[in-house]
Structure 1
Amino acid sequence: MRPVTVNEPAILAPTEGTVLDLLDLEEIDRDLFRVRMVFDDVYALYGGQVAAQALLAAGRTVPEGRVPHSLHGYYLRLGDASRPTIFRVDRDRDGRSFSARRVVAVQGGEVIFNMSASFHVPEKGTDIDAEPMPAAGPPETMIDYVFPRLFSFEGRTEKPVEPGEDFPTRCWARCTAALPDDPLTHAVILTYLSDSMAGLAPFHTSTARSGSSLDHAVWFHRPIRLDEWVLMDHVPRTIAGGRGWYTGTIHTRDGRLGASLTQEALFRAPRERSRR
């Protein structure tokens, strides 16, 4: 049997790569992918990164023309950005218009994340939004916001976020990389962005605050471009049993709802952020 040739991952400093480098997955066998780009980071692997890469791996196995319409992922162990992640895709079903996939992300022989994702052939039909986009001024009138740990993104908020303060729960965001006209790429980068803010920040106190993410879900309603301004809004919903839950939306600048999301995270006494 001829051995499979696997290239060594490129180790880059965070300032040297782009979000497209993060999405450069190497197919090492059928339905088996590996991250090419790794980098040093004092914190555990960013959850939005592994979720985006898992969705991309799944999307590369579905019939042409099918785009993501939903995903649900579980964070099981802390990952390491300086080590390559392996993604194994299971092809659960390909129907006439829907495809279902399961993805397992592995580092060092242990599962760090798993995801169920579904893909759909786009259809024309009724198009209704029950609620308007949250109120926000245009991004050009707002203050720069730097997304911690994100590659190739710029942000705008109504007021500055001082060092040590909580994340905002509503802000404009735009990918600064030149993106292709590919719906899968934009859905993947939306997923990358979707985990970037602490939606439970308004509930933070001196005795309890949000911690590690437990699970994360996204529904893609309409195709939107992430290299144009989008408004991300998170709303905290409830805290109970040491866990907190919030919902969120991502709108285009002209008010179309592109995606909805929800996440549950630990909510406990403050402790130092997870490090390797």
Structure 2
Amino acid sequence: MSKEIKLIDLLTLETLEKGLFRGQSWDLGFRALFGGQVLGQALHAARQTLPENRIAHSFHSYFLLPGDANKPVIFDVESVRDGKSFSMRRVKAIQNGKSIFYMTASFQDPEVGLEHQFAQMPDVPPPESLESDIKHYERIIDQMPIRMREAIAYHRPVDTRTVQVIDPSNPQVQEPKRYIWMKAQEALHGDISLNQEMLAYGSDYHFLATALQPHGISIRDPQLRIATIDHSMWFHRPFDFDDWLLYCTESPFSGNGRGMVRGQFFNRQGQLVASATQEGLMRKVRE
């Protein structure tokens, strides 16, 4: 691919009419549309309808149907409420005339308040000492499914560096924790909302896979059916996603065909800037 692939282009939506937007899709080589795309685009769609200067502090979302990565997505934004300090929006994502996703997002005017942090950033190697995940995948590209080989360029806009690289071709039983440095490859110029949208996109990388680690199952196991059910996120303070953030994920529970994961994002100064949770389908079936 000769054209540089930019995440900001994916998040730039076409306005169809008031509260109605259309976003293009990327095929990342998965069985369905990448959930992070819908998260980032839905948050961006909601932002287009807000009073000036309000920024997201949380969203809660449900994935209803698998999305088609070869088709655009329509976003229908409902303005639920605009108060003195907070705004709420409900976003519906549509493909083929069906709702595939719902998000409820809350936005706030920035203000000063009581502040504490009861979360500690783990001591891990710095990102400069680690190899980019994309380079690891390039080395084993012959072992990857054809769709993943063809889509590898679409994984470049977010640089991810896993502290302990997990080889999907040789899964081992491990505790359900994973540490990943990540950052956007584009300059974001301190745009708080754009940083949030890109982090929402990146928050879906390797998230649910953390719940597979105690079971020694590869994300590429042909008998595995895995899909996001819901995804929530909280933004605690402004951050720069064009600098490194450490994504600390863990899975406290899996059962009943589902796995739960939670994550924390720290900047390089050890400040907690965002948190996320996700639950997803984890089911083994017979071929």
TM-score of the alignment, normalized to the shorter chain, above 0.5: yes
Using the TM superposition, give the Cα deviation of residue 14 of structure 1 relative to its aligned residue in structure 2, in angstroms.
10
User: Which residue in 2 is equivalent to 1:179?
Assistant: 188
Q: Secondary structure at the match of 2:210?
A: coil
Tell whether 2:198 aligns with 1:189.
yes
Inter-CA distance 238–163: structure 2 relative to 1 (3 Å threshold): closer
Q: How does 1:1-276 map to 2 (within 5 A)?
A: 16-35=4-23, 37-40=24-27, 42-43=29-30, 44-146=32-134, 150-164=155-169, 169-197=178-206, 198-205=209-216, 211-269=226-284
Inter-CA distance 14–82: structure 2 relative to 1 (3 Å threshold): farther
- Segments of 5+ residues of structure 2 without an aligned counterpart are 138-151
Q: Secondary structure at the match of 1:187?
A: helix
Structure-2 separation of matches of 1:128 and 1:171: 24
8 Å CA contact 1:144, 1:156 repeated in 2: yes
Using the TM superposition, give the Cα deviation of residue 138 of structure 1 relative to its aligned residue in structure 2, in angstroms.
1.2
Using the TM superposition, give the Cα deviation of residue 210 of structure 1 relative to its aligned residue in structure 2, in angstroms.
6.9
Q: Secondary structure at the match of 1:130?
A: coil
RMSD: 2.4
Q: Secondary structure at the match of 1:169?
A: strand
Larger helix fraction of residues: 2
Using the TM superposition, give the Cα deviation of residue 168 of structure 1 relative to its aligned residue in structure 2, in angstroms.
7.8
Amino acid at match of 1:232: Y
8 Å CA contact 1:19, 1:151 repeated in 2: no
Amino acid at match of 1:67: I
Amino acid at match of 1:235: E
Using the TM superposition, give the Cα deviation of residue 271 of structure 1 relative to its aligned residue in structure 2, in angstroms.
7.4
- Segments of 5+ residues of structure 1 without an aligned counterpart are 1-12
Q: Secondary structure at the match of 2:57?
A: strand
User: Which residue in 2 is equivalent to 1:4?
Assistant: none
Using the TM superposition, give the Cα deviation of residue 40 of structure 1 relative to its aligned residue in structure 2, in angstroms.
4.6
Structure-2 separation of matches of 1:164 and 1:76: 30
Inter-CA distance 212–14: structure 2 relative to 1 (3 Å threshold): farther
Range that drifts further, 132-141 or 59-68:
132-141
Using the TM superposition, give the Cα deviation of residue 259 of structure 1 relative to its aligned residue in structure 2, in angstroms.
0.5
TM-score by length of 1: 0.86
Using the TM superposition, give the Cα deviation of residue 242 of structure 1 relative to its aligned residue in structure 2, in angstroms.
1.1
TM-score by length of 2: 0.83
Amino acid at match of 2:212: A
The percentage of aligned residue pairs carrying the same residue is 39
Amino acid at match of 2:260: W
Structure-1 separation of matches of 2:91 and 2:20: 10
Range that drifts further, 70-79 or 136-145:
136-145
Amino acid at match of 1:199: T
Inter-CA distance 270–136: structure 2 relative to 1 (3 Å threshold): farther
Range that drifts further, 13-22 or 178-187:
13-22
Q: Secondary structure at the match of 1:255?
A: coil
